[in-house]
Chain A
Amino acid sequence: MTGRLWPIFLRDLALLTRGAQGRGGAVLPLLFFLAVAMLFPFAVGPDARLLARTGAGVIWVAALLAAILPLDRLVEPDVEAGFFDQWALRGLSEEVLLMVRILAHWISFAVPLMLAAPLSAGLLSLDGPQLLTVEIGLLLGTPGLAAIGVTIAALTAGMRAGAALGGLLAIPMAVPLLIFGAGSLQPGGEGGLALLAACSLVALAIAPFAGGAAIRAGRE
């Protein structure tokens, strides 16, 4: 089983990071994330105290929006091209394939985001401890975002206007992650990290089964 999944994981990762077949790759969400962090000080002015107070929230909103960008390319092209049919013929379950895809998606969007977070923190004048909390929060929260993204992508695969619908569906599901992620930066909000991790785990546990059922239902 693992021997068969390895080439599939490598293909997922290559497609999601480098981008091909109309997939934007990992660069687009990353640039988007940095662009939001860069635009925000222009909009609210260079007041360092105000930026430091609101900056963490901005980083989380930017991360959430960056996670939505690649949604329509996550699952749909492979359903359309018959890859999931071929995997099903080989006895590979959709659930396992989606777990692999969540991992590949997480590596391709969350790792660059965490690497770019210090830059955003600089633009939003967050201090060291705040940046550390943001990074821990992203580490705990982005697996949940990746899981929600893959679930929504599987649900909207094959629908017209699936991209727009996917974004609208993902936002409410990601709200708990946003609340606990940004909330963990408030004074005394450290408990938010534990709740953030809990939300992530719930999303991760549900995603492969919900997405797998969606892909199978899409065949009918």
Chain B
Amino acid sequence: MQECGLVATDIACRRGDRILFRGLSLTLGAGEAIHLAGPNGIGKSSLIRILAGLLRPFTGHVERRGRLALADERLALDGHQPLEKALAFWARVDRAQDAQSAIPAFDFGLADLLDVPVRYLSTGQRKRAALARVAASDAPVWLLDEPLNGLDTHWADRVQAAIAAHCTGGGAVIVASHQPLALPALKTIRLLDFQA
């Protein structure tokens, strides 16, 4: 796994005319996991998008090392395609060596669903498909926005195990979630502490 990490310095986020949070700094290194915690509307998703470089912070800046993979509420899989083909599209874009690697190293229980069109998947299955896309992208830094939403307890545990395994393998993960996470070596950042 290549060197990877994120350093965010003095981030403030403005949505409309409201400052959601300010003065937030974080450092993420290889093998680490950070949990962004806080109630709905506090700016977890906005922070994830700022860290991903999709949203400009109101102040502050973000340095990124290593490629990023993002799973948020937007699935980015073609609804009419069978799951296997939809995932294979990203494998081709990411130049994975062969079609096999479209199926990620971690088991998200999608083997039986590969010929099902994406639009027929349930909420939890779609979530797992998005995580499979992230895992298959081979990017060291994962940004996950509410990855446990819609998952039953079994898959919530399995997904957390996959996140832990990714960290053990030298990857880095930031999880935004209002739910408690059970991950080893987890740093928690409470966005309420930075509320403007």
Contacts and interface: CB of A to CB of B under 8 A. Distances in A.
Interface stretch (A68-76, A85-93, A111-119): A85-93
Interface stretch (A3-11, A129-137, A196-204): A3-11
A3 B52 CA distance: 23
Given A21-B80, A219-B54, A220-B56, A86 B92 contact: no
Contacts, number: 56
A86 B77 CA distance: 10
Interface string B57-73: 00000000001111010
A86 B90 contact: yes
B55 interface: yes
A83 B94 contact: no
Nearest to B15: A220
B74 interface: yes
A89 B89 contact: no
B25 to A, nearest CB: 22
Contact of B72 (A80, A82, A87, A88): A82
A85 B74 contact: yes
B43 to A, nearest CB: 14
Given A4-B95, A80-B74, A88 B53 contact: yes
A21 B78 contact: yes
Interface string A72-114: 0000000011110111111000000000000000000000000
A21 B94 contact: no
A168 interface: no
Q: Among the interface residues B49, B75, B93, which one has the most CB atoms of the partner chain A within 10 A?
A: B93
Question: What are the nearest 10 A-B pairs in CB distance?
Answer: A82-B74, A7-B92, A82-B76, A20-B80, A86-B76, A83-B76, A89-B68, A4-B93, A7-B93, A219-B54
